[in-house]
Amino acid sequence: MSPDQDLIKHEPARMIQVEEDRIGQRIDNFLMLELKGVPKSRVYQMIRKGEVRVNKGRKKPDYKLQSRDLIRVPPIRRITDNETFDYRFITILEHIFFENDEFLAINKPPGLAVHGGTGLQAGLIEALRSHRTEASYLELAHRLDRDTSGLIIIAKKRSFLRRFQAALRSRRHLEKNYDVVVHGQWPKEVKSVVFPIQKVELRSGERLSRVSDSGKPSQTRFTIKGHNREATWLSARLVTGRMHQIRLHAAEMGHPVVGDTKYGDESKDSALATPRMMLHATSMRLTSDPHAKMDSQLPEITLNAPVEAIMANFIEQHFGPV
Q: What is the pLDDT of residues 188-211, one digit of tens each?
A: 999 999 999 999 988 766 789 999
pLDDT at 3: 35
Distance, CA of 216 to CA of 207 (rounded, Å): 16
- The rounded average pLDDT for each run of 10 residues, N- to C-terminus, in the chain (322 residues) is 43 84 86 77 86 92 90 75 54 92 95 73 82 90 94 94 86 90 96 95 81 95 95 96 96 96 88 91 87 70 95 93 84
Closest CA to 253 of 206, 218, 281: 218
Predicted structure pTM score: 0.75
**Count of C-beta atoms within a 10 Å radius of residue 241:** 15
Q: Which helix (H) or strand (E) holds 41?
A: helix 40-48
Beta-bridge partner residues of 310? none
Predicted pLDDT at 278: 97
Cα-based distances in Å from 291 to 170, 274, 288, 296: 14, 47, 9, 10
Q: Is 145 a catalytic residue?
A: yes
For the chain, the first-to-last Cα distance in angstroms comes to 61
Domains within the chain, CATH numbers bracketed: 3-79 (3.10.290.10), 87-155 (3.30.70), 174-319 (3.30.2350.10)
Quote the pLDDT of residue 317: 92
Q: Which of 69, 145, 260, 265 is catalytic?
A: 145
* Cβ neighbours for 71, distance < 8 A, ≥ 6 positions apart: 15, 16, 17, 18, 27, 30, 52, 53, 54, 65
What are 222-262's pLDDT values in tens digits?
A: 999 999 999 999 999 999 999 999 999 999 999 999 999 99
pLDDT in tens, 272-301: 888 899 999 999 999 877 666 656 678 889
Q: What is the pLDDT of residue 22?
A: 82
For β-strands 149-155 and 76-79, DSSP reports them as unpaired
